[in-house]
């Protein structure tokens, strides 16, 4: 059950006592939005994040019996590593989301093996991604304690371009020392046009980081997303 619900002009805050309760509630919201999109236009487009936080949410969502054969799933961002790597977001999605009822969903990755990060970027920003049924119906973001979301790291060498809400790019390459390996990420412009935009965070450290990002200057990447979003972001949190 929700422990508290707060709101502001930029976001609505949904807090849960248990992480499993959060996972079930978020999965229900996402499944409902996907179902509405399918009813309206015959298809739905979902972008999800990786990391350690979303596994329970993925498992809950995968068991909800919607028309998954009409859903396309892609990633908010990806590390430039093979799908066999434990750091691959595509591998995480395959193992935890594209199972059960959701096994019939179509998956479109960001990362494809190439000789250089530039080639990877061009492949990711190719006709395959551009031909998806934009705008995104649902985006589920995560957040780091440094205030980054997607792969919008504060020390990224192209952060201004990443956070340009008028960009026509689908995907950008990311080089940031704090990111570890090179990454690919959806542009902010693609993320903030989503019909339903959620932020999934867990732990007291993430709550404090979010509160700090809402109040601090200079503006952190998660705040840039909330400021540019076309509708309030739904924040789901559990300790």
Structure tokens at 213: 């990002």
Q: Cβ neighbours of residue 19 under 8 Å, at least 6 residues apart?
A: 56, 202, 238
* Minimum mean pLDDT range among 96-110, 116-130, 141-155: 116-130
pLDDT digits (tens, 9 = 90+) for 62-93: 999 999 999 999 999 999 999 999 999 999 99
- Residue range 9-218+225-238 forms a domain whose CATH class is alpha beta
pLDDT digits (tens, 9 = 90+) for 6-36: 557 799 999 999 999 999 999 999 999 999 9
What's this model's pTM, rounded to 2 decimal places?
0.93
Domain boundaries, the chain: 9-218+225-238
pLDDT digits (tens, 9 = 90+) for 198-226: 999 999 999 999 999 998 788 999 999 99
What pLDDT, on a 0 to 100 scale, did the predictor assign at position 3?
45
Three-class secondary structure of residue 188 per DSSP: helix
What pLDDT, on a 0 to 100 scale, did the predictor assign at position 115?
52
């Amino acid at each position: 059950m929700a422990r508290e619900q707060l709101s502001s002009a930029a976001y609505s805050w949904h807090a849960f006592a248990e992480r499993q309760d959060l996972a079930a509630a978020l999965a229900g919201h996402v499944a409902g939005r996907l179902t509405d999109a399918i009813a309206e236009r015959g298809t739905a487009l979902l972008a999800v994040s990786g990391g350690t936080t979303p596994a329970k949410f993925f498992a809950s969502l995968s068991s909800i019996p919607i028309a998954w054969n009409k859903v396309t799933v892609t990633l908010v961002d990806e590390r430039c590593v093979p799908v066999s790597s434990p750091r691959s977001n595509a591998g995480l999605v395959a193992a935890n989301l594209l199972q059960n009822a959701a096994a019939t969903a179509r998956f479109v990755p960001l990362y494809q093996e190439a000789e250089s990060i530039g080639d990877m970027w061009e492949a990711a920003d190719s006709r395959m991604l551009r031909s998806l049924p934009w705008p995104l119906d649902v985006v589920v973001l995560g957040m780091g304690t440094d205030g980054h979301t997607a792969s919008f790291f504060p020390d990224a060498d192209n952060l201004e371009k990443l956070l340009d809400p008028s960009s026509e790019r689908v995907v950008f390459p990311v080089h940031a020392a704090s990111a570890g390996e090179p990454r690919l990420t959806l542009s902010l412009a693609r993320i903030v046009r989503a019909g339903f935009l959620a932020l999934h965070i867990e732990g007291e450290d993430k709550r404090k980081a979010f509160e700090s990002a809402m109040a601090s200057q200079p503006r952190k990447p998660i705040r840039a997303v909330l400021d540019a979003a076309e509708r309030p972001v739904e924040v789901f949190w559990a300790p």
